[in-house]
Amino acid sequence: MTPRFQLTVTRSSATSRTTNGLMLCLAVLLALSPWLFGVGGSARAVALLVYVLLAVMWNALAGFAGLVSIGQTLFFGTAAYFTVRLADAGLDPYLAILASIVLGAVLGWVTSLFMLSLKEGEFAIGMWVLSSLAHLCVNLDPLIQGETGTSLISLNAYANASRTSFTLWLALAVTIAFFVLLVVLLRSRTGAAITAIRDDEAGARSIGVDVMRTKRTVFVLAAAGTAAAGALWLASNTNFQPRAYFGVHWTAYMLFMVLVGGLGRIEGAIIGAVLFFVIETWFGSYGAWYLVGLGAIAVLFALFLPKGLWGWIGPRLPGEAIPTGYIVEKKSR
């Protein structure tokens, strides 16, 4: 007897529901860090969230939209600078962080007006040039004192424990917000257009996709998310030295996290960020050797796991962990 099957189309699976549960537990654990792990643990939790933000946003730009940028430090560094400037003008530092995220989105929109017309290598190099120009302009501000830098002094109004806790909770809320925004975007018609443009821009345009508007949407989202990471990193470390925020090492970190985790998958970006966080925690004190180790790991992954960790793990799971499309399930009647 020929078996009969029923096809069902859904947005979730047992794997995605399990993933959602695990992520909820992790979010609760991070929120409780001030009581469970103290000030030091909370500060490290903020670092992890910043890495996740950077990886997920760069992956959204390069992995989903095909816009490979080596100048996202433009938004990372300017957001930290905006935070210092707004706080110096009298705005509460945490309100300054939120305002800087908005300004990062505005800067992303303005930048998109002329950068998105560039293609591939021109776009990547153009973004790096803009980041370098922003670095030079920030150095000219007397408040910053060149590469000497300054501090987010207004944070001293909060007790150390309270400051660390507030920064962690804000970082957690912002990371969740951007994660949800990205998933909702990728599940929408715009998300389908984004991947269509990545795969074949001319073909996407021929079927009526507004290429420039679609690219601008994901570009502005990635700019705002990267700006959030920069402002939160400043809140956690308090010191602002331009070369520490506009430095090319941040681009290297983003590339490492996404390529090792898996380009084009949200799960890959998150795994890459967690792996980078663990490596940095254990080996960051080794200085130059630590960077050599990161490079060696990246080369090994390029040779033996070109699709990253998630490219190896994902196909072995019964369903997608964070589905951005539809899932077709076949069930026996």
Residues 247-305: pLDDT tens digits? 988 999 999 999 999 998 999 999 999 999 999 888 877 777 777 888 888 888 888 88
196 exposure class (CB count in 10 Å sphere: 0-12, 13-18, 19+) = middle
Q: What span, in angstroms and rounded, lies between the C-alpha atoms of 212 and 214?
A: 5
Q: What is the pTM of this model?
A: 0.93
Q: What span, in angstroms and rounded, lies between the C-alpha atoms of 76 and 225?
A: 9
CA proximity to 295, closest of 326, 264, 253: 253
Structure confidence at residue 332 (pLDDT): 60
Structure confidence at residue 250 (pLDDT): 94
Q: What is the mean pLDDT of the chain?
A: 89
Structure confidence at residue 7 (pLDDT): 58
Structure confidence at residue 330 (pLDDT): 59
Contact 115, 130 (CB under 8 A): yes
- pLDDT above 70 for 9: no
Which of 39-43, 77-81, 170-174 shows the lowest per-residue confidence on average (mean pLDDT)?
39-43
User: What angle do the packed helices 211-237 and 189-199 form, to 10 degrees?
Assistant: 100
Structure confidence at residue 167 (pLDDT): 95
Residue 233, CA distances (Å) to 62, 83, 85, 174 in order: 22, 11, 15, 13
Taking residues 25-36, what's their average pLDDT? 93
Q: What span, in angstroms and rounded, lies between the C-alpha atoms of 213 and 196?
A: 13
Collect all residues with Cβ–Cβ distance below 8 Å to 6 and sequence separation of at least 6.
Answer: 330, 331, 332, 333
**Residue 123 structure tokens:** 């776009």
Q: What span, in angstroms and rounded, lies between the C-alpha atoms of 151 and 202?
A: 48
- pLDDT above 50 for 68: yes
CA proximity to 71, closest of 287, 222, 257, 267: 222
Confidence of residue 329 (pLDDT cuts 50, 70, 90): low
Q: For residue range 102-144, list pLDDT tens digits in order.
A: 999 999 999 999 999 988 889 999 999 999 999 999 999 999 9
Residue 151, CA distances (Å) to 154, 208, 219, 236, 280 in order: 9, 49, 30, 11, 24
127: number of Cβ within 10 Å: 24
Q: For residue range 186-210, list pLDDT tens digits in order.
A: 988 888 899 888 888 888 888 888 8
**Helix or strand holding residue 150 (H, E):** strand 150-151
How does strand 150-151 pair with strand 5-10? unpaired
CA proximity to 152, closest of 103, 226, 75, 89: 89
Residue bearing the bigger pLDDT, 281 or 79: 79
